[in-house]
Homo-oligomer: A and B are copies of this chain.
Amino acid sequence: MQPWRTAIVNKDETHIWLRGYDIADLMRRAGFVDTVFLLHRNRLPSDAERRLLDAILVASADHGAGAPSCAAARLAASGNRGSLSAAIAAGILAIGDEHGGAGEACMQLIAQSASDARQSGKSIEDAANLAVKRAREAGSRLPGLGHRVHTTDPRVAVLFGLASEVGVAGDGVAFMQALEAAAARSIKPLPINIDGALAGVLHDLEFPPAAGKLLFIVGRVAGLTAEVAEEHAREKAMRIRIPVEYDGEPPRSMDSK
């Protein structure tokens, strides 16, 4: 068997290097947010980048026990108390394009729209109008807009505000704000959601589209671990009961198949 190649971790009997940096230095002189950035980008972040990534991870940390990720984690914890990692994993498995993962599609839309605008000499607003027009014609949803709970998601303004303050805000933030405005004009009020906010900011931080989902997971695991710890500490096993309404075949006999 060929050894697996890796560019991330090297180690010997007394040292561990993460992407070339001694882990002892990272522990003493940097922190976890720096390390997340380093592992994904192969360099340490600037102060502005660290500040924004830190806020992104806080924004993703938890949104309540009813979100599919937390609910799946609690259900697994309810039936399978023996394994903490099983419950956390079940929670992560509920994260996909529909929950916590629209950032990926949204980052692709931003990248394409910003590139088209630049090439054709159009404005970001024109690009956002075009994206809304196309979604309406195709009858498809706009990634990054709309929320089941919030009319205004408080995390969006903080992220975009921070991005401006630290000088990182660019096409990503501008496009998402223009997209929200264009959708409000020609469809209905659809507030930017957390996926859309992450997408805008991560685009401006020059992360690749997959980072929308991956960094959301890094943040959300903070909440999942706490939700599972609470389920173990406060609740009985098998306490969760989901009401189910059967609407299938009435009783039938094998003799008449």
Which A residues form the contact surface with B (CB < 8 A)?
1-33, 35-36, 39-40, 42-44, 54-55, 57-59, 61-69, 71-72, 74-76, 78-90, 92-101, 148-152, 154-155, 157-159, 162, 208, 210-211, 213-215, 217-219, 221-223, 225-230, 232, 234-235, 237-238, 240-254, 257
Specify which of A54, A90, A149, A241 lies most central, judged by the most chain B CB atoms within 10 Å of its CB. A90
Task: Flag if B8 contacts A230 (CB, 8 Å).
Answer: yes
Nearest 4 Cβ contacts at the A-B interface: A80-B96, A7-B248, A20-B249, A79-B99
Contacts of A24 in B (CB 8 A): 154-155, 157-158
Nearest chain B residue, comparing its CB with the CB of A53? B32
Min Cβ gap A175→B in Å is 21
Q: How far is the CA of A131 from the CA of B2 in the complex (A)?
A: 35
Known: A15-B154, A250-B20. A64 touches B30 (CB 8 A): no
Known: A210-B84, A238-B98. A58 touches B32 (CB 8 A): yes
Min Cβ gap A130→B in Å is 26
Task: Flag if A95 contacts B74 (CB, 8 Å).
Answer: no
Specify which of A4, A14, A82 lies most central, judged by the most chain B CB atoms within 10 Å of its CB. A4
Known: A85-B95, A152-B13. A23 touches B58 (CB 8 A): yes
Contacts of A208 in B (CB 8 A): 229
Known: A6-B245, A8-B248. A254 touches B84 (CB 8 A): no
Q: Give 26 pairs: A residue, B residue, CB < 8 Å, sorted on A.
A: A4-B74, A4-B242, A6-B247, A11-B64, A13-B150, A16-B63, A19-B248, A20-B251, A23-B158, A31-B55, A31-B57, A32-B58, A39-B61, A40-B225, A80-B94, A80-B97, A80-B99, A82-B97, A86-B86, A86-B93, A89-B93, A90-B94, A92-B92, A93-B93, A210-B232, A214-B228
